[in-house]
Amino acid sequence: MKRRLIMPEVELLAPPGSKALLLGNEAIARGAIEAGLDVASAYPGTPSTEIGEAISSVAEKLGIYFDWAINEKVAAEIAIAASWSGLRSLTMMKHVGMNVAADAIFTLTYAGVVGGMVIVAADDPQAHSSQNEQDSRHFSIAAKIPTLEPSNSQEAKDFTKVAYDISEKYKLPVMIRTTTRISHQRGIVELGEIQERRKKGFFKPDEPDRYLQVGNIAVRHHKELVEKLKKIEEEVSEKEYFNRIIGDESDYGIIASGVSYSYAAEALRRFNLNIKILKIGMSYPFPRKMVSEFLKSCKKVVVVEESDPIMESYVKMIAKDANPSVEIYGRETGHLPWSGEYRPGIVIEAIRKAFGIDLSLPAINPIAAEISKKAPARSPTLCPACPHRSTGYATRRAVKADSIVLGDIGCYALLFQKPFSLAKVSHAMGSSFGFANGFSIATEQPVVAFIGDSTFFHAGIPALVEAAHHNRKAVFMILDNRITAMTGHQPHPGVNYTATGRPAKEIDLEKLVRSIGIEHVEVIDPFDHKRMEKAVRDSLNREGVSVIIARRECALLTVRKLRQKGKIVPYRVDPEKCTYCRVCINTFACPAFVDTGEKVRIDPAVCFGCGACVTVCPYNAIVPSEGSVNWFKEGIGV
């Protein structure tokens, strides 16, 4: 068949033998589709989100069930039940999502699977969009889940497809562990055959107690699990498909996995170095025999991996018996950094130091270096017209100096920055409401907790029930922007459609909150600054639980609709009225404001024309242009 490059819009359904330019995440989706995926469920989280987005775009056409679940635990349990019914299933999440799903996944390896099941854990070294740099391989070891680590988009597709066969053969889930640069790199991928899917399964336990994890039954299943892993190590991990040695005529070696392998291979190509590499594609069970033979042939070895020195520890243990004299370098010897993601330059420097080879990287272009020095630092900012900015503005005016304001995971986490300087804590999904309970017990300080609508459904409800039961004195604010905004506008139970666009039951937040016995509940448009400020102030002075639902859809959704109608007209600053007091910049900080040094003006290329800033100016200098529409007054976006 003639090779051809497929355009992005049709790549997931392109015929076998075609080539497509795919994100690593899109390649994982294609691999699952080729394997005959029946059911997929996930909670969105960078850097894993595009897997679900890709599957949702073709799910209806292919007959795949896909949904964005309420959280990762529920997503995993949907996939588990589908597997137990004989279907092939997939669940995917970012690294911290593994913490949420762990309770179900740890016990799953005892019960095993029927239909192939793949778990994708997308790690985020450098914490680009996360609260930590957690390494999901710890879960694979602790829960005893066979784990594959692709090093490029082609392997992401191929490993995912093969993972289903491994899963069904050994009756265990298989983890695909990626990192940010694997998830978000693009590469040309050769596509394979798409297998027929089963569509509907049937649950029939092959053993009476297979799915009962209690007492001695669980102990027996654990023994069976250990035996399965021994077989996988002998029959899969030690075979040269996932793990293999590249090159063989050198006393120096590199052991690498994932994107780190690509960096190491690039370094060897760039400097034409004769150093052999042991490429690890299945990192658990670890190929101990293969590593042992590799170490016997080496005097020095560098272990390159993101994020924790897990392979490095294995290699050192194996070296004790295989070759005690071999010198092993990595994180623990200081040759590689302990935090952040790797780059080719970091790996090259590790090779230079460990092997004593003179390697010189090309000098940075002096003009580029000078520009880099002069470029001002830029903090992340909320979008123009973001309702969270108005919530932050009003709350800042209402809270007392000693108030404890708690943030959570979402766009509104940026309210810790100036000029709002509100959130003093941002920890984990739903923790703001949990911490509010604790601070209300431990202190007499006023407590205000922010949480987004999707995060509330994900992990905030139990903490609010706790607060209602004990009548905690705290203000709980649900920032309802009608979507899971931070990860790219995925639906959640608070909207009336599913991931594939089908109608769904919308869960009413106000009714849900009132149903647990909370009486003081207000639903407010955050663009109504005066009412929002008064509501926060009144709630702080009230005993017991108060809930404020700040409801206005994400500005990007509103803008999308308005652009279709051609109705976006920016506001402007009247230079005759502007006194250059800079109150607008210092208290509201919309990125559309421009400080000219003499006056403030509004950049028409940035302004969305929402009018939320009008009431901020004490001199009424912010005025509409001809055709401007005030979203609040016109009821747009609520």
User: For the chain, what percentages of helix, strand and coil (3-state, to nearest 5) are there?
Assistant: 40, 15, 40
Whether omega for the bond prior to residue 419 falls within 30 degrees of 0, making it cis, is: yes
Task: Report residue 229 CA to chain centroid gap.
Answer: 29
Length of the chain (residues): 638
Long-range contacts of 532-538 (CB under 8 A, 24+ apart): 532/390, 532/391, 532/394, 532/395, 532/398, 533/394, 533/395, 533/397, 533/398, 534/398, 536/394, 536/395, 536/398, 536/399, 536/448, 536/475, 536/477, 537/398
- Residue pair 198/190 in contact by the 8 Å Cβ criterion: no
- In sign, the C-alpha dihedral spanning 409, 612, 417, 467 is negative
Contacts of 452 (CB under 8 A, 6+ apart): 408, 409, 410, 411, 412, 478, 479, 480, 481, 484, 485, 486
554 belongs to an annotated ligand binding site: no
- Residue pair 162/214 in contact by the 8 Å Cβ criterion: no
Per DSSP, what are the bridge partners of residue 278?
A: 245, 255
Per DSSP, what are the bridge partners of residue 40?
A: 66, 90
- Separation CA 570–CA 626 (nearest Å): 9
Phi then psi for 12, rounded to 5 degrees?
-70, -25
Phi then psi for 607, rounded to 5 degrees?
-65, 135
Phi then psi for 66, rounded to 5 degrees?
-140, 140
> Burial level of 517, CB count in 10 A (0-12/13-18/19+)?
exposed
383 belongs to an annotated ligand binding site: no
At residue 604's C-alpha, the angle toward residues 602 and 607, to 5°, is 75
584 belongs to an annotated ligand binding site: yes
610 belongs to an annotated ligand binding site: yes
578 belongs to an annotated ligand binding site: yes
- Separation CA 572–CA 625 (nearest Å): 6
The DSSP H or E segment spanning 122 is strand 117-123
- Separation CA 585–CA 621 (nearest Å): 13
- Residue pair 577/621 in contact by the 8 Å Cβ criterion: yes
581 belongs to an annotated ligand binding site: yes
Pairing of strands 147-148, 186-190: unpaired
Q: How many C-beta atoms surround the C-beta of residue 422 within 10 A?
A: 22
**Token pair 């740099």 in the structure block, residue:** 133
613: amino acid identity, one letter: C
Q: Which residues are annotated as a binding site for [4Fe-4S] cluster?
A: 578, 581, 584, 590, 607, 610, 613, 617
Annotated binding site: 578, 581, 584, 590, 607, 610, 613, 617
